[in-house]
Amino acid sequence: MQQQNITSLVDSGMDLHQVVKKQVDNQRHSFLQEGRPSAAVRIDRLDRAIRLLKENSDAICQALSEDYGTRHRFQSMAADVLVSIEALKHSKKNVKKWMKKERRGAKFPLNLFGAKAYIDYVPLGVVGIIAPWNFPIQLMFSPLANVLAAGNRALIKPSELTPVTSRLTADLFRKYFEADEVSVVTGGVDVAVAFSEQNFDHLVYTGAPGVGSYVMQAAAKNLVPVTLELGGKCPVIVGSGACIKDVVERVMTFKTLNVGQICLAPDTLFIREQDLEEFSIQAKKYVHDCFPNIIDNEDYSSIINDRHFSRLMSYLQDCESRGTAIVPLGDSEDVADQAKRKIQPVLLVNPDDASLAMTEEIFGPLLPVKTYTCLTEVINFINERERPLGLYYFGNDRSEISSIKDRTTSGGMVINDIAAHALQDNMPLGGVGHSGMGSYHGYDGFRQFSHARGTYEQGLFSASTIFKAPYKDSTLKLLEKLMG
């Protein structure tokens, strides 16, 4: 079946829910007709996804730049295209190994008579993927790599906030895939609502926790299992022995990459009072060296739209009204340029805990910095709030590292870097609690989008004879003996 444009189907009189349902039904029918796809079929689909990205990388980067207003080609090529290709290649390299059944020992004494027990990882069927706007290619193709490796079909809903990129990906998937393999549904919030209400075999959502809650409710009506990759306020703890210059370079790199519009971006930094001044000086130097004339600098991205620009400015204004020390790090006289939707990096020093900057996820270039005297107070602060997607520690004190590992819970943890775990294809990426549920990447993603079917092959004798009536005293005594 050729891929159809959703607008033409709606214009024909079908309602949105039925339009999306038709595509889900089409994929499920093909999935059931095909049966479990071979490794060769899965590799072919992964190869086509890799070709799609390689052969259209320039067009993808151009589309992302148009959606953002300003987004350097390097950022899009590295964070969206390359990371996606690496995820697909990793799945392609390992899919044959992942598909092998996982042997489990049959219980004694039946194992002595030829009984076998194993786990068979079977495809789920049709998986829905709702991708966000901040890395619309990476967060579409990274889960897709696992979905295809697991032998599933995929229906994708890209973000309406990146319309140029969304239209391009829809066109590209039509070129490289049949609609019953991988298909894209574009549109606004109404389409996203209809998409979330479908009877998928699994649904993946990456985005804000508030929307994630709705997606989960909609999926629950059909008992659809979900993987939610959400966000939260990822803390950075600068501990004993930390090199402040290294801290600044790694923290500010991820606070300025895509101008902090990253779910794993550092959100709040905790530092000892005696290190605050050096951190501020080094942060200013970093921004000056990397982004001269920051507002006009094409290396420095724009905020995605006016609504998010206004949201971030409201955080600044709220801190200002509360008397928070605000430290702009750029060399421009103006902190922000509304026409270009650019806000220079800003430190918010010891903001009120009730301020918007401390209660809402930043998702931008503002960085609250809190001073502390005792690590326990930082741990307590983190534990009193929602569990973050990532937690970062800088330093070389093993007792501090152990305390943080043992006394906090987060989706992932990185020591002496930022978000490095997300680049490891052989580690799961996922949240916990408010920051999400489930995970993908590598083998963990393959398992997430598979059903672990326990399979037992009986040998010469069956234990069922124990349960056969009439029951005898000798049988009861045997049970008592087995209980020990």
Residues serving a catalytic function are: 229, 263
| Edge-first strand listing for the sheet containing 102-104 | 102-104, 116-123, 450-457
Say how far apart CA 364 and CA 388 lie, in whole Å: 16
Asked if 211 contacts 201 with a C-beta cutoff of 8 angstroms, the reply is no
Q: Please report which helix (H) or strand (E) contains residue 9, including its range.
A: helix 6-11
**Phi then psi for 386, rounded to 5 degrees?**
-60, 150
> Which stretch of DSSP H or E encloses residue 452?
strand 450-457
- CA neighbours within 13 Å on the CB side: how many for 329? 28
Identify how many contiguous H helices and E strands the chain contains and give both numbers.
Answer: 18, 18
Query: Residue type for 348, please?
Result: L
Could you tell me if 239 and 393 are in contact, meaning their C-beta atoms sit under 8 angstroms apart? yes
Which 3 state secondary structure label does DSSP give 372?
strand
Nearest-angstrom CA–CA distance, 49 and 36: 20
Tokens of 289: 């060296």
| Four-point Cα dihedral 171, 177, 178, 180, nearest 10 | -100
Backbone angles phi, psi at 90, to 5 degrees: -65, -45
Q: Name the strands in the sheet holding 235-238, side by side, starting at the edge strand that comes first in the sequence.
A: 325-328, 346-349, 366-372, 268-272, 235-238, 390-394, 412-415
Residue 347's H or E segment, with its range, is strand 346-349
- Using the structure block, give the residue that is written with the tokens 């990129």: 165
Q: Are 191 and 185 in contact (CB under 8 A)?
A: yes
Nearest residue to 447 via CA among 156, 97, 213, 84: 97
Question: Backbone dihedral region of 232: left (phi > 0), alpha (psi from -120 to 50 degrees) or beta?
Answer: left
Distance CA 210, CA 437 (A): 14
C-alpha triplet 99, 100, 103: angle, nearest 5°: 135
Output the six-digit token pair for 114.
């030829």
Q: Which two three-digit tokens encode residue 478?
A: 């045997």
